[in-house]
Amino acid sequence: MPSAGGDVNGFVFPMTPPTDQSVAITNAAMSGASGQALLDILEEPLEEEPIPGDLVGRKGGRRSRTDPLEQERARAAHQELVNTLAAAARVKAGFSKDGVPILVDENVVHSTALAAQLRAEGYNARSAEEVGLANQGVKDPPILRLIRFIGGRVITGDHGQGRDGGFKERAIRIDRRGQYLGPVMRLLATQGVHPIAR
């Protein structure tokens, strides 16, 4: 991946270099790696993404200034790269490119059946089993990082924060009565998550 702005195979890259983690996510997504491989990358703490305007070199011991319009272009290009990486990670994890990705946690009874029912209703849903995360001993923090990165939500029966923090603001918590399709769809609507327009 180039370290300066440019166009490579139709992709426009930002003026600033992406982080090593961003490059690893892109390479994993493009090489056909599994959802688990993406989680392995996200197991490490997230790196600070460089802010393009803050990477200006120094001249004479003082920070040089760049044109504000150029800084804005660099920020827009950087955001475009982040969006491209998130879209690649979303597809690699098995989600559609459209709609809010919904992961049905493995602690939900019949999670794969619920995910299939949600898909039949037009939701962008996958179970932890379908994504390759069930019974793998994967803790919540890397899953939370992946879900945040792809802009998704997690349907979970876990009501506690637990030692590892749970799914925080990305959690849609259900109880046993809510594991049927109708109540889950009503709950999703209250959370602003709607089916993909057909």
**Long-range interactions of 68-76: CB distance < 8 A, separation 24+:** 70/15, 73/15, 74/5, 74/14, 74/15, 74/16, 75/51
pLDDT (average), residues 112-137: 91
Interval 76-92: pLDDT, tens: 888 888 888 888 888 88
pLDDT above 60: residue 48: no
Cα–Cα distance, 123 to 114 (Å, whole number) = 11
Higher pLDDT, 107 or 159: 107
Cα–Cα distance, 148 to 182 (Å, whole number) = 26
Cα–Cα distance, 37 to 185 (Å, whole number) = 31
Q: At what angle do helices 111-120 and 181-190 cross, to 10 degrees?
A: 70
Strand positions, DSSP E, the chain: 6-8, 11-13, 58-59, 62-63, 101-104, 124-127, 153-156, 171-173
pLDDT at 13: 38
pLDDT at 9: 37
Confidence of residue 15 (pLDDT cuts 50, 70, 90): very low
pLDDT at 119: 95
Confidence of residue 198 (pLDDT cuts 50, 70, 90): low
Interval 142-156: pLDDT, tens: 888 889 999 999 999
* Contact criterion met (CB below 8 Å) for 136 and 105: no
Report the run of H or E that residue 82 belongs to, with start and end: helix 68-92
Cα–Cα distance, 163 to 81 (Å, whole number) = 34
* Contact criterion met (CB below 8 Å) for 4 and 15: yes
* Contact criterion met (CB below 8 Å) for 109 and 156: no
Is the overall model pTM greater than 0.75, yes or no? no
Domain boundaries of the chain, sorted by first residue: 6-92, 101-190
Interval 25-35: pLDDT, tens: 666 655 655 55
Which fold would CATH assign to domain 101-190? Rossmann fold (3.40.50)
